[in-house]
Amino acid sequence: MISKSVLPIEAVSDEVCQSLRRGNVVLQAEPGAGKSTGLPLHILAAGFDGKILMLEPRRIAAENVASRLAAQLGESLGHSIGLRMRGRTVVSKNTRLEVVTEGVLTRILQNDPLLEGIGIIIFDEFHERSLHADLGLALCLDVQRDVRDDLRLLLMSATLDSDALGKHLGGTDPITCEVRQHPVEIQWRAIGRSSMLHAAAQTVTEAVENHDGDALVFLPGVAEIHRVANLLKEKLPGNIEVHRLHRGITSTAQTAATRPSKANTRRVILCTSIAETSITIDGVSIVVDSGVERRSRLDASTGIERLESVMASKASATQRAGRAGRTRAGVCYRLWSEESHSSRAASWQAEILRSDLTSLLLESWQWGVADIFTLPWIDPPPLGAIEQARSLLVKLGIWTTDGLTAQGRAIARLPVDPRIGHMLLWSAANDSLHQAVSLAALLDDMPRQSDVDLTNALLNPSSGHKRKQKQLTELVQQIIASTPTLISDLRSGDDANSGPIDPGALLVQAYPDRVARRRTSGRDNNDIRYQLSGGSGAVLHEHDPITTHEYIVVSSLGGQGSESRIFTALPLNIAELQQCSANLFEAQDQVQWDDKLERVIAERQQRIGSIIISRQTITEISPDLRSAALVDGIRKQGISTLGWSDESREWQ
């Protein structure tokens, strides 16, 4: 039996159910209304046909919401309320409402395009506009339009352009639920980014001295969480526990961070933006907001997705501040000035407009749509990003003009990025699957670390990484067994490689455009400059040990400016790469004018992308190529380089 509550969402729950019987619904409900933990139970009790799927944007949110829904019914998770996400499934034949992460919906749709047995799909916190949320909605609308006019969709968030979404979903009128929020006092602190972490620690110390309740501290990423935690060790009294909340923590640590405080203790919870929505943390009356978050952005000029630290939007700042006023009056310290607040974006750009779209394009092809723009997108994906994604998928052998290849169909079945999927299948065909799954598990869930070189992290995997390795190994082996021709298609030579392949050479199978060579004259301030095979440049601090290697392969990079900063990489043995992946290299003959030597030179270059690996002088040059190079030199140096006399010039 559903427990009684006084959640504000109850005021509109009947209206939502009535509207769902007629069509799709858009619900705008402020934080604390109970849209995630109250409304789904009301819909469940209304007796709709079919199962309910409820999407959450993050794993932590999915676990938290599912557990709370089950607890309200007095049941254990897996009975009426189920949970499904990558690596964990808790459902039974009695499950009527499944809380799933967004990627799971994509897999469900690809495996069962008719969505048989599913009556309602709820998109929670839709304002985050992740790639999977936009893709999931587009595919659901495609299904609804063609074969399932009885399918119902409910979009929920506190901050939505509800009128535009209502039109996109078929002209439905949005439903609004207001909440009588407890007052939250905003205190502004004009802090520069260079001193943000020390200011955050000092502000937390001051806040817990002057106010009651627990504190929620928003920081850009995991590295900043660890540094502020260390700064707080000597500042806080013994009755205050410091917890860390981010996507990489264990379920035990997550429970400790989100459950109510013990008697006579208080909590300081250091978190990333995952705690903005969905996750309910009782007892919080203090928020300290750095105002900075980490976002990925595709550099249109290079095709590289950068991880950048950016100012959180006004909508995010509002969501974060609201965390302090859910149960009583609270206070929010913002570590920026009130004057600069107006320069922040109203809301953050949808992921589909700023991210690498390789996986999105692969999913649409697997769906059977050759032209991705025919799907009903809220925001159509940028053409440039689609062309870059198409180019990479062709290079990896996933797509041809005839459609998805056998390798492409196999990669689409793997719960990883297409780049990593290619690395896994290639390694399986070349007797290196064990090393590749270790690398894939590390890359899938790795907090930013001080060491750029991933070698030590590979040698010391966590228990969570070991579990992922086992799951990935079993899945790859199943796929290989069901498609035996993949082995011969992906072998690097006539015979498989003998012995383990260097991790760097494996990583190149995922990032052939991120092989990097140290520039001989590449010092810039305290940085060493690198040339990437994809054509762009990147930098590393000169004291980083990995700079002793001439060649590396980069797994993540970011920052701002003309050149990216390398965050993580592996050393690369270029000779071994040539041996196991000769197809990545090409020979090019170059005949050109040399400004320094003031003559035509010719050489045969061995290249990987934009990087020249070796040069060999060519002695025999065709007259046409020599003439073209000479003309180019004359254009560069001017007509005077021909040595004509004044008399000849006068005659000319």
Supply angle C-alpha 95, 260, 64, rounded to 5.
25
Which H or E run contains 128?
none
DSSP 494: S
Burial of 471 by CB count in 10 Å (0-12 exposed, 13-18 middle, 19+ buried)?
middle
Please give the Cα distance from 208 to 242 (Å, whole number).
12
H/E stretch holding 248 reads: none
Looking at residue 28, its amino acid is Q
Name the amino acid, one letter, at 36. Answer: S
For residues 526 and 65, give the distance between their C-alpha atoms in angstroms, rounded to a whole number.
47
Q: Please report the pLDDT score of residue 420 as a whole number.
A: 94
Q: What is the pLDDT of residue 60?
A: 84
- Residue 141's contacts (CB-CB under 8 Å, 6 or more residues apart) are 153, 169, 376
3-state secondary structure of 336: coil
Angle formed by the axes of helices 463-482 and 433-444, to 10°?
130
Structure tokens at 311: 């100012």
Both tokens of residue 79? Answer: 């009975």
Pairing mode, strands 118-123 and 51-56: parallel
Helices (H), 215-374: 222-232, 251-258, 314-322, 338-341, 358-367
The pLDDT value recorded for residue 21 is: 94
Encoded tokens for 427? 């390694």
Question: How far apart are alpha carbons 476 and 430 in whole angstroms?
Answer: 13
Cβ atoms < 10 Å from Cβ of 487: 14
- Tokens 């006579």 -> residue: 264
Amino acid symbol at 160: L
151 vs 166: CA distance, rounded Å: 16
pLDDT of residue 1: 42
> Which helix (H) or strand (E) segment is 139 a member of?
helix 131-146
**What is the three-class DSSP state of 625?**
helix
Percent helix / strand / coil, the chain, rounded to 5: 40, 25, 35
Rounded to the nearest 5°, which phi and psi values hold at 535?
A: 115, -20
- The backbone torsions φ and ψ at residue 356, rounded to the nearest 5 degrees and listed phi first, read -65, 125
Dihedral sign, CA of 319, 323, 328, 333?
Answer: negative
Distance CA 456, CA 440 (A): 15
Q: How far apart are CA 188 and CA 325, in angstroms?
A: 17
| Cβ neighbours for 447, distance < 8 A, ≥ 6 positions apart | 221, 222, 223, 246, 248
> What is the helix (H) or strand (E) element at residue 479, kind and residue range?
helix 463-482
- SS3 category, 626: helix
**Which positions ≥6 away from 259 have C-beta within 8 Å?**
none
Q: How many CA atoms lie within 13 A of 606 on its CB side?
A: 11
- Output the CA–CA distances (angstroms, integers) from residue 269 to 34, 275, 335, 449, 594, in the order listed: 22, 10, 17, 21, 61
- The strand pair at 184-188 and 330-334 is best described as parallel
Phi, psi of 81 (to 5 degrees): -105, 125
Asked if 187 contacts 156 with a C-beta cutoff of 8 angstroms, the reply is no
Residue 377: DSSP 8-state: -
Q: CA-CA distance, 530 to 551, in Å (whole number)?
A: 9
Q: Cβ distance 420 to 398 under 8 Å?
A: no
Angle at 515 between CA 510 and CA 520, to 5 degrees: 170
* Contact indicator for 600, 594 with CB cutoff of 8 Å: yes
Q: 65, 254 in Cβ contact below 8 A?
A: no
How far, in Å, CA of 417 to CA of 360, rounded? 10
Instruction: Identify the burial level of 296 via C-beta atoms within 10 angstroms of its C-beta, where 0-12 means exposed, 13-18 middle and 19 or more buried.
Output: middle
**Chain length of the chain:** 652
User: Which residues, 6 or more positions from 624, have their beta carbon under 8 angstroms from its beta carbon?
Assistant: none
Stretches in the chain below the pLDDT threshold 70: 1-5, 180, 193-194, 277-278, 300-303, 445-450, 492-499, 521-525, 560-562, 593, 595-598, 624-626, 629, 633, 637-643, 652
Give CA–CA dist 216/287, Å, rounded. Answer: 5
